[in-house]
Amino acid sequence: MAKNINVSGALIPTTINTPLDARTVVDTIEDLSTISYPHIGMQVYIVSENRFIHVTSLGPKKIGPLIIPLASIDSWEYSDNGSKVAELEGRVQKIEDVLEDTVPEIEDVIKRADDAIGIIEGITQNTINENDINTLFPEDEEGKG
């Protein structure tokens, strides 16, 4: 059984951004294997992924010639809050990707709209010619514009 540490008040870290339990923050998923004395339900923040996981089962760990049962993290799941953050980040990335692909198309539509406005102005002022119309409405492969 674990020993208790009796304190007369709350624990207060003396440095900024320091967890009370050093096991609760690791840099990468691979670093989960370095956590000593994990427990089921343990929450761990993965810095590189900006997500939390919680431990769902423990497994054996080899230490020298000994195999210690229930001494390593065997399985884990992303916590809901972390997966929601990751989902939102994924959505933002998809939107950025779509915008990146769409902006040239939008710029082309704007150019064609400006050309159409110029042709309409030309029609109203009787200064339009067939070449201007062909610029805006080029014929497709079948000869139908």
Tell me the C-alpha distance between 137 and 22, whole Å.
67
Burial class of residue 119 (count of CB atoms within 10 Å of its CB; 0-12, 13-18, 19+):
middle
Give the three-class secondary structure for 126: coil
Burial class of residue 131 (count of CB atoms within 10 Å of its CB; 0-12, 13-18, 19+):
exposed
pLDDT tens-digit profile of 47-62? 998 889 999 999 999 9
Distances (CA, A) of 51 to 5, 31, 44, 75, 122: 30, 14, 9, 16, 60
Tell me the C-alpha distance between 71 and 61, whole Å.
5
pLDDT tens-digit profile of 83-107? 667 777 888 888 888 888 787 888 8
pLDDT tens-digit profile of 4-42? 778 888 888 888 888 888 889 999 999 999 999 999 999
